[in-house]
Structure 1
Amino acid sequence: MNIYLWQHKTAVALFALAVWAAGQGRLAARSPAESADAEDRRLARRGVDLMMDGDLDGATSVFRQIQGQDPHSPIGYLLEAEALWWKIYYSTANLLDADVFDVAALAATPHDAHFNDLVAVAIERSEAGLRARDDVPRNLLYEGMAYALRARLEGLRGRDLPTGRAGKKMRALLLSSVKMDPSLTDAYLGLGVYNYLMGTLPLTEKIFQYLVALPPGSRASGLEQLRRAAQEGELTCGEAKFYLAKDLSRTSEGAYAKSLTLFGELARDYPNNPLWPLVAASLKYSMGSKPESDALFRAVLERTAAERSDAERGVHRAARAALLAQHPDEKFGE
């Protein structure tokens, strides 16, 4: 063999071996905690997709799997609480109201106690991680998201003082998280919701803001942060798009076409959830397309007639109520 050719092949082989060894070293350097967190988040993304697609029981099974394999992590408890919040929302809220908070028809549900227990565990696990100095930015994020869920339920029940306290705590935690690690764009969901709500408070309610010493918000910043979470969020992109679409559907915004586009994207990404076409039907009505709205409501009513899930039961009830309001002489299944 030509000596120069042999030397060249040997050099290439040694270089390839060095690259492989370096890669193996990086893999070995990854701590067990980092590997567990990566697997937790992989499963979490699958569970969140199921949740946004209307399969809350399937999502809960995934979140409990995370709890079983990594019981010290807050994420499994946090996301199971979020799935429970959706159950509560579907069963008690006015799904067609542009507001997602303070729209519940019941003071409590059988899910509330377990929801509060899960939020408390998520907060405790996050604080334990912070005391151990274990991935501080992410534990701040998870604790902030837990307080966001607490604020959501209190808001749904119309309890302003606990809502304000939880929202204030959430804001501080999420700001600290994203300041330490700007890549944690899931923080912008909670920050966007807070900024938008505080920035659009009626003058009569600003007195409460001052009494509780809530930091001010900004409507424009809130919408921009929700857009960022919808585009870049790891676990919150679908939910951020939902809140953004809801905000744009408010009468004060009047951005019905933009809202409709976002709900269309949610229907494309999560096609099994009947909530998206339900809200699209309501938006069509607000835009003056009443025949199209009526047809959509009827299609949703038929699609959810079996009421096989929490999402289908809640959406079926809302679609029937909307049709009865427009056609009081029709029975619509009863």
Structure 2
Amino acid sequence: MVRHHFFTTAFSLVQVVLVAVVVVAASAARSHAGSDPYGLPDEVETALQAALDANYSLRFDEADALLRSLEPHREKHLMIEFGFVLTEWWRLSAAVLEEDKDASRPLLQALDACIAEAEAAIARGDPTGEAQLVHGAALGLLGRWHIANHHWLRSYVVGRKAKASLEKALQINPELYDAYSGIGIYDYFVARLPGIVRFVAFGGGESDPAVGMRLIQLAVNNGHYTVTGTKAALVLVQLRIEKDPAAALDIADELVADHPDSAFFRSLRMIALHDLGRTKALAEEATIQETLLAEGRFPAARTAQVHFARGLARFVAGDSKAAEVDFEQAVAQADPSDPWGTWARLYLGRLADLRGEREAAKEHYRAVKRMTNRMGTARLAARYLRNEYVRDDEASRMLLPD
């Protein structure tokens, strides 16, 4: 049971992080001033970077508009096709709705079209390696979706194909350092699996996580598009696998410095601060997020996140009454695209348990279980239906324990 849980959690993160770093992830500034290894025209490069960057701030309509402006170049440059896929991916994954089949449909349709276009481009000839890299990135996204929906065998097959395409991209064009990011993350997570799982599922595979990390660092130092995406991926690695929230916070701080208006990156920072027990800094982060929302620099759809952040800071500080007000506001104002409304409902259950109101707590946990699972909320709700929440229990030391 433990081994299965480790396998599903780790392999899920393989795909989560593979996607974040292999895909043409947005970076506000190019990682190097050297020549573009993809050979994109300057106007395409500029618009594509802006569109991808908009995804990090969850400005999806802006990203779509920028990508549509590149329509005349779409047939020749697969990165544009993949940009549309990436926008759908961020729209879905930032909302943590991968397990919602209706919400997933636009992404799956975009992925099917992109993979077909990449395969056609590969058949015609791929002199820059762009088609192989896009093919691998799109397959990585598809594998991640299969994992989220517990399609284990499909995700394994797709994941191996994704890595193979990235390796072919490097064979064609050794300057595509972006590909090392996905290969490195894949190797890192395979190495972190229990030996028997690694042998059965991956034919042995790499057994030293440091090997994968060296490839990741190669991409960070030399990549064209992947610096920001890789850093976001490494925050998750440090939080979920290495259990090193201090290292996660260092990286999250770098991301927030470059993207101060990103609700997503600020949510990563919030998680790291919570796991570190930095109560005062967590309260300060909540205030910053509240200001960004009031100034229109956060999307209105992230209102629940702001209320949750403030409630979380008050909860860990021991101010249960004020925290309850914040969590109730988060639930009341939650947009379907904001996962923190679900988390707020879970915390209302925890507060009810702390007051000794077990039936009220169970009502909240049952409501959470009826909602789409958002980063482990359904599993935590099931746990607390079996056993009441106790402050500072093992599951609450990490904000995202599962």
TM-score bracket, shorter-length normalisation: 0.7 to 0.9
SS at match of 1:107: coil
Shift of 1:121: 1.6
Shift of 1:294: 3.2
* Amino acid aligned to 1:146: A
The verdict on how the C-alpha distance between 1:242 and 1:35 changes in structure 2, with shifts beyond 3 A counting, is: closer
In structure 2, the CA distance between the partners of 1:70 and 1:277, relative to structure 1 (3 Å rule), is closer
The answer to whether the aligner puts 1:121 opposite 2:113 as a matched pair is yes
Q: Offset of 1:216 from its aligned partner?
A: 4.0
Measured in 2, the distance between the counterparts of 1:89 and 1:63 equals 19
* Residue 300 (structure 1) aligns with: 289
**Shift in Å at residue 147 of structure 1?**
0.8
C-alpha distance in 1, partners of 2:204/2:246?
A: 33
State whether structure 2 residue 84 is matched by structure 1 residue 76.
no
Question: Is the counterpart of residue 48 in structure 1 residue 55 in structure 2?
Answer: no
1:289 to 273, 278, 290: 278
Task: Give structure 2 stretches of 5+ with no counterpart.
Answer: 1-37, 330-402
Corresponding residue for residue 88 of structure 1: 92
1:234 deviation in Å? 1.8
Between the two proteins, what is the percent identity of the paired residues? 18
- TM-score between the two structures when normalised by the length of structure 2: 0.62
Q: 1:273 aligned to 253, 256, 262, which one?
A: 262
Runs of 4 or more above 6 Å deviation: 305-308
Q: Report the Cα distance in structure 2 between the residues aligned to 1:222 and 1:54, rounded to whole angstroms.
A: 29
Residue identity in the other structure for 1:79:
G
CA drift at 1:139: 1.2
How far apart, CA to CA, are the structure 2 residues paired with 1:125 and 1:112?
A: 20
Deviation digits for residues 26-46 of structure 1 (CA, Å, limit 9, x no counterpart): xxxxxxxx9765543342222
Q: Residues 64 and 157 (structure 1 numbering): CA distance in 2 closer, same or farther, change over 3 Å?
A: farther
After TM superposition, give the deviation of residue 256 of structure 1 in Å.
2.8
SS at 1:54 equivalent: coil
Q: What residue number does 1:98 align with? A: none
Are 1:167 and 2:151 an aligned pair?
no
CA gap of 1:107–1:178, structure 2 versus 1, over 3 A, is same
CA gap 1:214/1:323 in 2 versus in 1, 3 angstroms: farther
The answer as to 2:134 corresponding to 1:145 is no
Report the alpha carbon displacement of residue 249 of structure 1 after superposing the two structures with TM.
2.4
Instruction: Give the alignment of 1:7-86 within 5 angstroms.
Output: 39-86=43-90
Change (3 A) 1:265 1:211: closer
> d(CA) in 1 for partners of 2:312 and 2:199?
34
* Corresponding letter in the other structure for 2:231: K
- Separation in 2 of the partners of 1:165 and 1:59? 31
Which structure's relative contact order is higher, taking Cα pairs within 8 Å and 6+ residues apart?
Answer: 2
- 1:183 Cα offset (Å): 0.7
**Residue equivalent to 1:27:** none
Matched residue, 2:147? 155
Aligned to 1:186: 178
